[in-house]
Chain A
Amino acid sequence: MDVLPTDAALTALRAAFSEDLVSFDRDLFGTYGRDWTRVFDPAPCAVARPRSTAEVAAIVGFCATNDIAVVPSGGRTGLAGGAVAARGELVLSLERMRRMDPVDRVAQTVRVQAGAVTEAVHEHCAPHGLTWPVDFASKGSSHVGGNIATNAGGVKVIRYGLTRHWVLGLEVVTAQGQVLSLNGALEKNNTGVDLRQLFIGSEGTLGIITEATLRLSRLPGALDVMLYAVPDLPAVLRLFDAARQGPFTLSAFEFFTDRAAARVRRHRGLEAPFAVEGGCYVLVEAEAADREALEQWAAGLFEQSLVSDGVLAQNRTQAAALWQLREAISESLSGTGVPHKNDVALPIAALAPFCASLDALFAERYPGWEVVLFGHIGDGNLHINVMKPEDLERTEFFARTGEADHALFTLVRAHGGSISAEHGIGLLKKPYLAYSRSPEEIALLRAIKQAFDPRGILNPGKILDA
Chain B
Amino acid sequence: MKILVPLKRTADPDNANKIKIGAGGAKIETTGLEPKANPFDEYAVEASLRLLENGQTKVRIAGDKLTIASFGPKEAATNIRQALAMGADDGLLFLSDDNALDGDLIARALAKVVEQQMPDLVVLGKQAVDGDSNQVGQILAELLQWPSATFAMSMELSADKKTVIVGREVDGGVIKLRLTLPAVITVDLRIVAPKSVVNHVTPATFTYPDGARFTPLPMIIKAKSKPIVEASLASLGVDTALKSKYLSFALPPARKGGVKVKDVAELVQKLRTEAKVL
Complex CA–CA separation, A448 to B235 (angstroms): 80
Closest Cβ of chain B to A156, distance in Å, is 21
Complex CA–CA separation, A359 to B218 (angstroms): 33
Q: Within 8 Å CB of A321, what residues of B?
A: 211
Residue among A273, A310, A312 making CB contact with B209, cutoff 8 Å: A273
Q: Within 8 Å CB of B36, what residues of A?
A: 315-316
The answer to whether residues A312 and B215 also contact, given A271-B209, A273-B209 and a CB cut-off of 8 A, is yes
Nearest A residue to B212, CB-CB: A318
Q: Within 8 Å CB of A274, what residues of B?
A: 216
Closest Cβ of chain A to B218, distance in Å, is 6
A313 touches B209 (CB 8 A): no
Let me know if B220 is at the binding interface, CB within 8 A: yes
Given contacts A226-B217, A314-B85, 16 further A-B contacts (CB under 8 A): A227-B214, A295-B217, A298-B217, A299-B221, A302-B217, A309-B216, A310-B216, A312-B215, A312-B220, A313-B214, A314-B82, A314-B214, A315-B36, A315-B37, A316-B14, A321-B211
**DSSP class of B's interface residues: helix, strand, loop or mixed?**
mixed
Q: Within 8 Å CB of A309, what residues of B?
A: 216
B214 touches A302 (CB 8 A): no
Residue among A295, A311, A316 making CB contact with B221, cutoff 8 Å: A295
B217 touches A312 (CB 8 A): yes
Interface residues on B, range: 20 to 34
Let me know if B75 is at the binding interface, CB within 8 A: no
Q: Which residues of B contact A (CB under 8 A)?
A: 12, 14, 34, 36-37, 39, 82, 85, 209-211, 213-218, 220-221, 224
Closest Cβ of chain B to A184, distance in Å, is 35
B209 touches A311 (CB 8 A): no
Q: Within 8 Å CB of B210, what residues of A?
A: 271
Q: Within 8 Å CB of B221, what residues of A?
A: 295-296, 298-299
Q: Within 8 Å CB of B213, what residues of A?
A: 273
User: Which of B34, B39, B214 is packed against the most chain A CB atoms within 10 Å?
Assistant: B214
B218 touches A302 (CB 8 A): yes
B34 touches A299 (CB 8 A): no
Closest Cβ of chain A to B85, distance in Å, is 7
Closest Cβ of chain B to A116, distance in Å, is 21
A sample of 25 cross-chain residue pairs with beta-carbon separation below 8 angstroms, ordered by A number, consists of: A226-B217, A273-B209, A273-B213, A273-B216, A274-B216, A295-B221, A295-B224, A298-B221, A299-B217, A299-B218, A301-B217, A310-B216, A311-B216, A312-B215, A312-B217, A312-B220, A314-B85, A314-B215, A315-B36, A315-B37, A316-B14, A316-B36, A317-B39, A318-B214, A321-B211
Q: Within 8 Å CB of A299, what residues of B?
A: 217-218, 221
Nearest A residue to B224, CB-CB: A295
Q: Which residues of A contact B (CB under 8 A)?
A: 226-227, 271, 273-274, 295-296, 298-299, 301-302, 309-318, 321-322
Of all A-B residue pairs in the complex, the 10 with the closest CB atoms, nearest first, are: A311-B214, A273-B214, A299-B221, A310-B217, A298-B217, A314-B82, A271-B209, A315-B36, A312-B217, A295-B220
Q: Within 8 Å CB of A313, what residues of B?
A: 214
Complex CA–CA separation, A309 to B217 (angstroms): 8
Q: Within 8 Å CB of B216, what residues of A?
A: 273-274, 309-311
Q: Within 8 Å CB of A317, what residues of B?
A: 39
Q: Within 8 Å CB of A318, what residues of B?
A: 214
Complex CA–CA separation, A271 to B210 (angstroms): 9
Complex CA–CA separation, A226 to B221 (angstroms): 14
User: Which of A274, A301, A310 is packed against the most chain B CB atoms within 10 Å?
Assistant: A310
Nearest B residue to A307, CB-CB: B217
Complex CA–CA separation, A316 to B209 (angstroms): 18
Q: Within 8 Å CB of B12, what residues of A?
A: 316
Q: Within 8 Å CB of A298, what residues of B?
A: 217, 220-221
Q: Within 8 Å CB of A316, what residues of B?
A: 12, 14, 34, 36
A311 touches B215 (CB 8 A): yes
Closest Cβ of chain A to B138, distance in Å, is 27
Q: Within 8 Å CB of A314, what residues of B?
A: 82, 85, 214-215
Closest Cβ of chain A to B10, distance in Å, is 11
Q: Within 8 Å CB of B82, what residues of A?
A: 314
Q: Within 8 Å CB of B217, what residues of A?
A: 226, 295, 298-299, 301-302, 310-312
Nearest B residue to A227, CB-CB: B214
Closest Cβ of chain B to A296, distance in Å, is 8
Closest Cβ of chain A to B91, distance in Å, is 15
Closest Cβ of chain A to B45, distance in Å, is 11
Complex CA–CA separation, A296 to B221 (angstroms): 8
Closest Cβ of chain A to B154, distance in Å, is 21
Complex CA–CA separation, A322 to B14 (angstroms): 18
Complex CA–CA separation, A433 to B157 (angstroms): 66
Closest Cβ of chain A to B241, distance in Å, is 34
Complex CA–CA separation, A310 to B219 (angstroms): 10
Closest Cβ of chain B to A152, distance in Å, is 28
Complex CA–CA separation, A151 to B219 (angstroms): 42
Q: Within 8 Å CB of A315, what residues of B?
A: 36-37
Nearest B residue to A291, CB-CB: B78
Complex CA–CA separation, A316 to B13 (angstroms): 12
Closest Cβ of chain A to B225, distance in Å, is 12
Nearest B residue to A317, CB-CB: B39
Q: Within 8 Å CB of B14, what residues of A?
A: 316
Complex CA–CA separation, A298 to B215 (angstroms): 13
Q: Within 8 Å CB of A301, what residues of B?
A: 217
Q: Within 8 Å CB of B209, what residues of A?
A: 271, 273
Closest Cβ of chain B to A436, distance in Å, is 40
Closest Cβ of chain A to B39, distance in Å, is 8
Closest Cβ of chain B to A291, distance in Å, is 9
Closest Cβ of chain A to B79, distance in Å, is 9
Complex CA–CA separation, A271 to B208 (angstroms): 10
Nearest B residue to A269, CB-CB: B210
Complex CA–CA separation, A313 to B39 (angstroms): 14
Nearest A residue to B216, CB-CB: A311
Q: Within 8 Å CB of B218, what residues of A?
A: 299, 302
Q: Within 8 Å CB of A311, what residues of B?
A: 214-217
Closest Cβ of chain B to A119, distance in Å, is 16
Closest Cβ of chain A to B44, distance in Å, is 15
Complex CA–CA separation, A127 to B211 (angstroms): 33
Nearest B residue to A228, CB-CB: B217
Nearest B residue to A309, CB-CB: B216
Q: Within 8 Å CB of B214, what residues of A?
A: 227, 273, 311, 313-314, 318, 322
Complex CA–CA separation, A318 to B212 (angstroms): 9
Complex CA–CA separation, A140 to B14 (angstroms): 20
Closest Cβ of chain A to B236, distance in Å, is 28
